[in-house]
């Protein structure tokens, strides 16, 4: 089972591998509307997981009861499951995606996968029990999760927005 630190290293490797890819020379006019919608859902879920991470950190620092924490874990687990479903759907859309959309899917997929895995590892850590909630290591774990989530979500949103900005500059609707 990967740790948060291992995911951070994997993420940094993914960032290095995807950031060196050449930018789009042009935006393809034949974008699939269903792929565009799924990419928008991925962006929304990315921002939701980022907000979930911030909520977990603030929650971990407070004196909330265990039942409230379990309810939050359940909600965030559902958010991670929705993100995983969207990721799977994006990966299955290669046949209908335009070349530009394929590039975005390839750039976003490893980052979104890392965000989902990091979220699930953090939830497992929380589900271990209320005894860890008061320890310094518990709070450090939550802060690390929030930081990784913030970085990953920023990268994902930037990659998704880059295509939209280029399309608008060229007078094409993505």
- Of the pLDDT bands very low, low, confident and very high (cuts 50, 70, 90), residue 28 is very low
Cα–Cα distance for residue pair 79/47, rounded to 1 Å = 11
Cα–Cα distance for residue pair 97/113, rounded to 1 Å = 19
For residues 156 and 43, the answer to whether their CB atoms sit within 8 Å is yes
- Comparing CA positions, the residue from 112, 109, 104, 108 lying closest to residue 24 is 104
For residues 42 and 83, the answer to whether their CB atoms sit within 8 Å is yes
Domain presence at residue 19: no
CA atoms within 13 A on the CB side of 5: 1
Cα–Cα distance for residue pair 13/170, rounded to 1 Å = 32
- Per DSSP, the residues of 52-108 read HHHHHHHHHHTT--HHHHHHHHHHHHHHHHHHHHHHHHHHTTTTTS-HHHHHHHHHH
Cα–Cα distance for residue pair 21/37, rounded to 1 Å = 24
For residues 31 and 145, the answer to whether their CB atoms sit within 8 Å is no
List the domain range (segments joined by +) for residue 165.
Answer: 49-169
Domain presence at residue 82: yes
**pTM of the predicted protein model:** 0.74
Domain count, the chain: 1
Encode pLDDT of 14-23 as tens digits: 554 444 433 4
3-state secondary structure of 142: helix
Average pLDDT, the chain: 79
For residues 46 and 112, the answer to whether their CB atoms sit within 8 Å is yes
3-state secondary structure of 25: coil
Domain presence at residue 97: yes
Cα–Cα distance for residue pair 55/57, rounded to 1 Å = 5
Domain presence at residue 31: no
Domain presence at residue 12: no
Encode pLDDT of 73-127 as tens digits: 899 999 999 999 999 999 999 889 999 899 999 999 999 999 999 999 888 887 7
Domain presence at residue 25: no
Checking if the pLDDT of 24 tops 50, the result is no
Domain presence at residue 79: yes
Domain presence at residue 27: no
């Amino acid at each position: 089972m990967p740790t948060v630190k291992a995911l951070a290293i994997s993420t940094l490797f993914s960032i290095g591998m995807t950031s060196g890819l050449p930018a789009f020379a042009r935006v393809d006019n034949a974008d699939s509307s269903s792929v565009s919608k799924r990419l928008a859902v991925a962006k929304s879920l990315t921002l939701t997981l980022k907000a979930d991470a911030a909520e977990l950190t603030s929650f971990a620092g407070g004196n909330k009861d265990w039942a409230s924490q379990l309810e939050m874990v359940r909600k965030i687990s559902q958010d991670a499951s929705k993100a995983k479903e969207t990721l799977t759907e994006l990966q299955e859309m290669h046949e209908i995606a335009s070349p530009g959309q394929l590039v975005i899917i390839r750039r976003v997929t490893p980052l979104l996968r890392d965000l989902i895995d990091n979220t699930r590892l953090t939830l497992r850590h929380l589900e271990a029990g209320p005894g860890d909630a008061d320890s310094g290591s518990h709070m450090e774990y939550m802060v690390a999760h929030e930081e990784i989530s913030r970085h990953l979500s920023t990268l994902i949103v930037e990659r998704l927005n880059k295509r939209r900005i280029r399309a608008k500059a060229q007078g094409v609707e993505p």
